[in-house]
Structure 1
Amino acid sequence: MRVSLPVYPRHKTRAEVATLRWVRENTNVPVPKVVSFDDSNDNEIRYEWILMEFMEGTSAHRRWRAMSMEQKIALTKRIATFQVELSGLGKPDSMFRSIGTLDLREVGQTAGVEDSEKVVPGLLVSHEFFMDDRIYYDIPRGPFRSSHDWLTTELNIILLHQTAVLEKTEDEDDKEDAEEVLLVARTLLSLVPKVFPPTLDESETTGLYHHDLHLNNILVNNEGEITAVLDWECVSALPLWMLTQVPKSLDGPIREEEPQRDMYADKTPGESDATAGEHNDPDYLDSDGKNELYYIHEMEYEATQLRKVYKARLRELWPEWPLEESYVKVDFFQAVSQCDGIWVKKVTPMSKRE
């Protein structure tokens, strides 16, 4: 059961239910079935909630070191297949024509998913749109017709937020940071029409993009086969160029040379004692007595090789996959995402309290 804080009342819960329903009906991606939900807080627990079926399996993160490279390759190819299915490729009725998070039409409180009508892109449910006081901004919230409209709004949110910081703060460092962000955001805003020309005809084709597909959100069985893909909150229908990014599970530094185990030190007695009590931690990984640096480098090497597998599989399934033409667009999106520093600004105060 997922219980949701009221960060985006009704919309966040409805969006996740709609997304899970669409994925189950239109793809082979294994996701939990929604048994029931309440998109209001007018209930016994006073929070929005979703009741889903239990999915068998262990997180791929937990099993990764025990999996063979052949199993990891098979898993990666399967994830690539899932991404093609999520794009709606080859199924015109399954493709979306605007940017937004999926929504259920005509859904009442505590309704079952079978009571809904067609699943369509609606308001964009993302952290950039509802974090802090952003939920109160008078801005377009979707669905957006084009990448131009979407990213223009993202940048306007940043401008509004940083302008408010300048007006309210008395801290000189905060003022300096806000001025720097405003300069970058204004520059990016002026470049939007060059990278994403305004669309005057029909809305842009989009597909579902799971932005948080790391190994903890992938469940596998003892053979390393995928049994479930989890955490679909804030997953949205985004432009096809966004779908050219590798999943988060394969992200990381490039390492072409395979690390040799014998070249790395064993754990010291102190390191072994420090991790002795972590065996019951869900994220604990058995290092087999080896220094953790070896496994960091091994993961970087494997991710580098598996990215090639992922891209090759996408090209096989999607010959028109717009990889090369998407580089600039993806880089621009990353610049927009990072120029406001939402998460950095939240982590910094916490680190100062240590």
Structure 2
Amino acid sequence: MDDDPWLGVSINLDALQGIICQVFRVSPHEVGQPIPIGSQLFKNYAQVYSFQIAPSCDAETHSVVARLVLPVKPLFKTENEVAAMDFVRNHTTLPVPKVYAYCSDSNNPVGVEWILMEHMPGVEMGEGWEQLDYTQKRTLALDLVDLYDQLSRLKADGCGGIYHKVVNSEDSSIPGTTIRSSSRSLRWSSLSPEFLRALRSHCNHKVTIKNHYELGPLNDISLVNYRLTVPTPSQTMPIFTSDEYVKLIAFNGNPSTRSTYDLPTREKCVELFQSIYKLYPNSTVFGPSADACKFCFSHGDLHDGNILIDPQSGIITGIIDWESAAFRPLWAEVRGVGWFEEGRQRFIFGSDPPGDFKDDIDPEDVRLRAFFRTELHKRNPELYSAFVGGVELRAVVHAAADDPRPIGETDIFLSRYYRYELPRKEGKKERYWEERRRGPFPWDMNAWRHRRMDLDEMLMKQEKLLESLNGEEIRK
């Protein structure tokens, strides 16, 4: 596993403040000090700051958000995030931040890649949820339905990240110019010849996307997991079937970056996915024929911390953190958000058994869930099918993307999936993989357990050998 990529990175916030002055053409005394947004303790995939701009003239004071990008998968993650925000802002009515300027090359005065963007109003959905009454929660439910519906209507012929078409190295803003309205966000500086070649070579696929955009390397949240080996852009190129998508996630790139010890477990996840997928030969949402219906645009990391709401009305006021946005299979992304996410209530995820909605003790909870499902079905029946019917596939992909043992829970998931019995009326029980309907389980589970024990023994021997070698080095 890799070390924390923030280690050794020197960030110059004074330089960032100077760039804000340059971009907005204001003097240093008109820009406030950086205010951290969110927890800077874990930092995850970005460090985020807010700057207050108070012009000396009569112009209104406003905030600018600076997102300092984690130094993982240089160039491509930032280019994808900016293009995704431009794409959604220009082709939907969803509240997405406007990008004022950005730099996808860490070789700049700040010391890391950065994005300057509009400060979106509201509070995080997870923070404001408990303060909403039932009517406000219904308003939020409708906005979530609209969010999924609008994104699902943006389609491409392949599965991958989204990037602006690159014409030449001067495809950028010129430092010192005034911010102008544009459908395309402006780079703060020109691309280097090296980065220009990299974008051109990785983002030139002949697929159908709206004008001025191209398909390129996928930046799925699991594929930029710095606790694993982060695959290169060449290892995460666009794919064109759901089967290839799951393999890319499971193997952490193509070719795989998984270890000899870990790869067999990922192969079992792929085998299970393929077996389930074949059960839907004629579905336009699941199964091989669904891939012909094209891939839909998705946020990629849509949780209740990335959705901002008005706590007085429940209306969604902002959707942020688009770095994992991409075209994906519809079933992979329509899962609900926050309280509306039902996957862990209805299915095993990792080592957790289904919650079975045991926390829904208020009659309003039942009505609200029914309202969300009903409105989703009325707006788009395929979205509803993906939401309800895709939970099993999403659970398998979640397991496929997990960390290796002992942190990861993939082997626990596979074992529980095999033996878990669903409670049924009249005392009858049914397994997830019901052989009377689905045929034999995809593999011999007893043989797999023995294989797993052999792999564990192999790993223990490797670790002892490594300890022995390290001990020899210390003694020398």
TM-score (norm 1): 0.68
- The residue aligned with 1:105 is 165
Alpha-carbon spacing, 1:309–1:232, altered in 2? closer, same or farther (3 Å): farther
Q: How many residues are paired up? A: 289
TM-superposed deviation, 1:343 = 8.3
Say if 2:224 and 2:230, in contact at 8 Å, map to a contact too: yes
Q: For residues 180 and 216 of structure 1, what CA distance do their matches in structure 2 show?
A: 34
The answer on 1:188 being equivalent to 2:275 is no
The answer on 1:226 being equivalent to 2:316 is yes
The answer on 1:156 being equivalent to 2:246 is no
Alpha-carbon spacing, 1:41–1:224, altered in 2? closer, same or farther (3 Å): same
Q: 1:341 is matched with which residue: 392, 402, 405?
A: 402
What are the Cα deviations for residues 112-167 of structure 1, in whole angstroms up to 9, with x where unaligned? 5356971233211113334322415974x232112122123333338944434x3x
Amino acid at match of 2:392: D
Say if 1:80 and 1:313, in contact at 8 Å, map to a contact too: yes
- The residue aligned with 1:9 is 74
3-state DSSP class of the match of 2:259? helix
Alpha-carbon spacing, 1:193–1:320, altered in 2? closer, same or farther (3 Å): closer
Q: Which has the larger radius of gyration?
A: 2
Amino acid at match of 1:229: I
Q: For residues 343 and 33 of structure 1, what CA distance do their matches in structure 2 show?
A: 38
TM-superposed deviation, 1:340 = 5.1
Alpha-carbon spacing, 1:124–1:314, altered in 2? closer, same or farther (3 Å): same
Which one has a larger percent helix, Structure 1 or Structure 2? Answer: 1
Alpha-carbon spacing, 1:65–1:136, altered in 2? closer, same or farther (3 Å): closer
Say if 1:181 and 1:340, in contact at 8 Å, map to a contact too: no
Q: For residues 137 and 42 of structure 1, what CA distance do their matches in structure 2 show?
A: 19
Say if 1:152 and 1:192, in contact at 8 Å, map to a contact too: no
Alpha-carbon spacing, 1:194–1:65, altered in 2? closer, same or farther (3 Å): closer
Amino acid at match of 1:236: A
What are the Cα deviations for residues 215-252 of structure 1, in whole angstroms up to 9, with x where unaligned? 32222223332211222120221112234422344225
- The residue aligned with 2:229 is 133
Amino acid at match of 2:163: D
- The residue aligned with 1:281 is none
Q: 1:314 is matched with which residue: 376, 391, 399?
A: 376
The answer on 1:34 being equivalent to 2:95 is no
Q: For residues 243 and 182 of structure 1, what CA distance do their matches in structure 2 show?
A: 20
The answer on 1:240 being equivalent to 2:324 is no
3-state DSSP class of the match of 1:80? helix
What are the Cα deviations for residues 49-91 of structure 1, in whole angstroms up to 9, with x where unaligned? 1110111222233322221110011111111011111112xxx
TM-score (norm 2): 0.52
Alpha-carbon spacing, 1:244–1:201, altered in 2? closer, same or farther (3 Å): closer
- The residue aligned with 1:208 is 297
Q: For residues 216 and 292 of structure 2, what CA distance do their matches in structure 1 show?
A: 13
Q: For residues 201 and 240 of structure 1, what CA distance do their matches in structure 2 show?
A: 9
For structure 2, list consecutive stretches of 5 or more residues without a partner in the other structure.
Answer: 1-65, 174-183, 188-210, 282-286, 347-357, 410-476
Q: For residues 109 and 248 of structure 1, what CA distance do their matches in structure 2 show?
A: 42
Q: For residues 402 and 244 of structure 2, what CA distance do their matches in structure 1 show?
A: 21
Q: For residues 60 and 114 of structure 1, what CA distance do their matches in structure 2 show?
A: 27
TM-superposed deviation, 1:208 = 2.0
Greater RCO (Cα-Cα under 8 Å, separation 6 or more): 1
Q: What pairs with 1:272-351 in structure 2 (closer than 5 Å)? A: 297=359, 305-321=367-383, 323=385, 327=389, 330-339=391-400, 341-342=402-403
Alpha-carbon spacing, 1:114–1:48, altered in 2? closer, same or farther (3 Å): closer
Alpha-carbon spacing, 1:4–1:33, altered in 2? closer, same or farther (3 Å): same
The answer on 1:66 being equivalent to 2:131 is yes
- The residue aligned with 1:274 is none
Q: For residues 243 and 186 of structure 1, what CA distance do their matches in structure 2 show?
A: 18
Alpha-carbon spacing, 1:72–1:35, altered in 2? closer, same or farther (3 Å): same
Q: What pairs with 1:262-277 in structure 2 (closer than 5 Å)? A: none
For structure 1, list consecutive stretches of 5 or more residues without a partner in the other structure.
Answer: 89-93, 167-177, 256-295, 349-354
Alpha-carbon spacing, 1:330–1:109, altered in 2? closer, same or farther (3 Å): farther
Alpha-carbon spacing, 1:315–1:322, altered in 2? closer, same or farther (3 Å): closer
